[in-house]
A = this chain, B = another copy of it.
Amino acid sequence: MRNHSLFTWLYPGMHIKRWLFLLVVGMTLLSLGAAYLLREAYLLYDFPGVAHYLTLQFIPRWGRGIIFVCVAVGSVSIAFWRLNASLLYAVVRPGSQNGSMAESLYTKRVLSRGPHVVAIGGGTGLSVLLRGLKDHTSNLTAIVTVADDGGSSGRLRQDFGVVAPGDLRQCLSALAEAEPLMSRLFQYRFRAGEGLEGHSFGNLFIVAMAHVTGNFETAIHEASRVLNVRGNILPSTLVDVTLSARTQDDEFVHGEHKITEHGASIHELFLNPSNAEAHPDAVRAVLDADLIVIGPGSLYTSVMPNLLVEDLRKALLSTSAQRIFVCNVATQHGETDDFGVADHIEALERHTAPGIVETVIANNNLGVLPDELHSTPVALNHPDARVFEHVRVIQADVVASENRYRHDFQKLAAAILDVYHGRESGMPGAEHRPSEEAVFVTR
């Protein structure tokens, strides 16, 4: 597109053509008006001799007309161009790229008309999803878990009494625009320094900003501004919640990172306090959305903690938006060992309600994962499972070819947008409300 930037100005929706048209109409009218006034002046007054030469009267009248018009168009264009350059000088920050202004305007206008999408989850999974979605719409809201209590997030949570910043930071980096350096800085982890080691810069930014402004929400807002984030990032709750689990053996485990460490099969998940208030903007975003995407990400420790916030769960069940669940492509050791797609859906519905999602996007490009990950590709299992009766399963190749443990952000976004626009029938391997036979066939 870079080579056609002059034409970019004429793309639909740029809010440029209408005003250029008005400019041309105005100039034509101006010419007409001046012509009448000049004609009247010629009839009424005698002009001094010098006017004869200034108005080039020794050249035939049509020749004069064309010369004047050409010179005029030239100088108006130059004037217009330079005025703009002067105005832009005032607003363009040093070091920012302003070479492709037409393109950046185009991107901004077009993306502002994209669907309103809410993405719910946490961790790397959510950031992969956002990285893909931001190329399709700027009306993005990420609702992020803040129950993390391990690593840098956990230490900051304990020392400063803020909600866990880690998952928010990953979203900020994913949605940051045009500043890959700042994203890298946000993800940077200190590798030395007693007590400093292991902290990520982005987490420290959020904590410091929360203390400077006295407010966690303002901290996120300011971080979004600094990173020029496309979209909106919200914690699912501002309450300092803890995640607890009851295992299949009726054991209780408290704290997010302990649940993963413990590794036992999880029967039930709780939030403490169980009545933690949802972030009101998150509830509003869910109710106003066109499309809601739940997952991918650690099922019990990233995705579920959001859905355990009661108001958010209620909003999800009452919104008119399309609701898609993106199933993980690989099992997670300690959380979802041996899980298939049906197990994911079953766990999701058990903790919320049947029908919480309408569509599931499952990967059909199953390969072999290296042994050291203790992870297997997630296949459509239990073809007799009841869950498939009220959930439509769309199978597509959404796995990253260089890292089969993760989604490919472009493939995933394309698959989601296809579902949203009802184009999924065209996708290879796609199917609607699969019969049991169809499911067997695709295994």
Contacts and interface: CB of A to CB of B under 8 A. Distances in A.
Interface of A: 14-16, 18-20, 22-23, 25-40, 55, 61-62, 64-76, 78-80, 82-84, 86-96, 98, 101-102, 104-105, 108-109, 155-156, 159-160, 181-182, 184-185, 188, 190-197, 199, 201, 204-205, 207-209, 211-213, 222, 225-226, 228
A76 B26 contact: yes
A33 B67 contact: yes
A140 to B, nearest CB: 14
B16 A83 contact: yes
A222 to B, nearest CB: 6
A380 to B, nearest CB: 42
B90 A108 contact: yes
B64 A90 contact: no
A32 B212 contact: no
Tell me the interface secondary structure of chain A in the complex.
helix
A197 B194 CA distance: 11
A213 B181 CA distance: 8
A197 to B, nearest CB: 8
Contacts of A204: 190, 196, 201, 204
A73 to B, nearest CB: 7
B37 A69 contact: yes
A195 B14 CA distance: 52
6 contacts: A34-B68, A34-B69, A90-B108, A91-B96, A94-B225, A204-B204
Given A26-B72, A91-B92, 7 more contacts: A19-B86, A22-B79, A23-B80, A27-B27, A34-B68, A88-B91, A155-B193
A23 to B, nearest CB: 4
